[in-house]
């Protein structure tokens, strides 16, 4: 079966711009989680969506937002980009929740803010 698909794979943006990243989960999975990964901070949890509702949220500023559609596809948006937002953004899909059933990750979107 198809895995988790993230688009785009690479992005370069300038400070102050906004960006939208997309994640298509595995068919039948209702939970989508988003993470920011940087060398110094590791995997940091952004938020999780389940059946179109945000179920959990990490400690990121309000510039980071997301949503989930009825087909479970999810998007995350970062507004007013800062240099420190440069990172690999990963999404993971799970059948029910990432701590309950296996989380499958996409290959990530590498965002560079210049």
Partner 1 sequence: QKEVEQDPGPLSVPEGAIVSLNCTYSNSAFQYFMWYRQYSRKGPELLMYTYSSGNKEDGRFTAQVDKSSKYISLFIRDSQPSDSATYLCAMSFSNAGNNRKLIWGLGTSLAVNP
d(CA 9, CA 69): 21
Q: What residues have CB less than 8 Å from 111, skipping those under 6 apart?
A: 11, 13, 19, 21, 78, 85, 86, 87, 88, 89
Choosing from 27, 54, 71, 100, the residue that interacts with partner 1 (CB under 8 A) is 100
36 contacts 44 by C-beta, under 8 angstroms: yes
Site string for partner 1, 11-50 (x = CB under 8 A): ----------------------x-------xxx-x--x-x
Instruction: Looking at residues 50 to 69 of the shown chain, list those that interact with partner 1 (rule: CB under 8 A).
Output: 50, 55-56
Q: Under the criterion CB under 8 A, does residue 103 sit at the interface with partner 1?
A: yes
Q: Please, which residue, 79 or 110, has the CB nearer to partner 1?
A: 110
Q: Under the criterion CB under 8 A, does residue 86 sit at the interface with partner 1?
A: no
23 contacts 4 by C-beta, under 8 angstroms: yes
d(CA 72, CA 42): 26
Which residues are near partner 1 by CB under 8 A?
A: 4, 33, 41-43, 45, 48, 50, 55-56, 90, 92, 96-100, 102-108
């Amino acid at each position: 079966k198809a895995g988790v698909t993230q688009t785009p794979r690479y992005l370069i943006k300038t400070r102050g711009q906004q960006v939208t990243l997309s994640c298509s989960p595995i068919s039948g999975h209702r939970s989508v989680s988003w993470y920011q990964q940087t060398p110094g901070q590791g995997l940091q949890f952004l938020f999780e969506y389940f059946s179109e509702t945000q179920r959990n949220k990490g400690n990121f500023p309000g510039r980071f937002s997301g949503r989930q559609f009825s087909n479970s596809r999810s998007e995350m948006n970062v507004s007013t980009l800062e240099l420190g937002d440069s990172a690999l953004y990963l999404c993971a899909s799970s059948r029910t929740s990432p701590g309950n059933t296996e989380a499958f990750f996409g290959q990530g979107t590498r965002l560079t803010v210049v």
